[in-house]
Amino acid sequence: AQKVTQAQTEISVVEKEDVTLDCVYETRDTTYYLFWYKQPPSGELVFLIRRNSFDEQNEISGRYSWNFQKSTSSFNFTITASQVVDSAVYFCALSGENNRKLIWGLGTSLAVNP
């Protein structure tokens, strides 16, 4: 069975701090895909990144970076120099290669305080 665990339910930081959101997944598929989505207070779901299991290179996009480690089944998300606008719920999700269903973590609520 596939599963995504986001152990951190809520995180609170002060602006400009770095913060890492953890995502641990379980799957027996050799090919799979991992995603991160952001849900700001306005409620919409915003796509952040998609990675496949064969690409273990870390990804950096501005202040955002992702660390994919197959050895520990983790796909962690780091925000550098956090800003108030980063306050949101962040979801990690997993899909197998031939799986028509996306498996979601329960999300981590991040509050960035001024």
Summarize as ranges the residues that interact with another protein (CB under 8 A): 33, 35, 37, 43-45, 47, 50, 52, 91, 95-97, 99-102, 104-107
Residue 21 dihedral angles phi and psi, to the nearest 5° = -105, 125
CB of 83 to another protein, least distance (A): 23
Name the residue nearer to another protein (CB basis): 98 or 114: 98
CB of 101 to another protein, least distance (A): 6
Name the residue nearer to another protein (CB basis): 80 or 99: 99
Name the residue nearer to another protein (CB basis): 52 or 58: 52
Give the count of beta carbons closer than 10 Å to the beta carbon of residue 27: 21
Residue 70 dihedral angles phi and psi, to the nearest 5° = -65, -30
Dist CA 75 CA 89 (whole Å) = 16
CA atoms within 13 A on the CB side of 30: 0
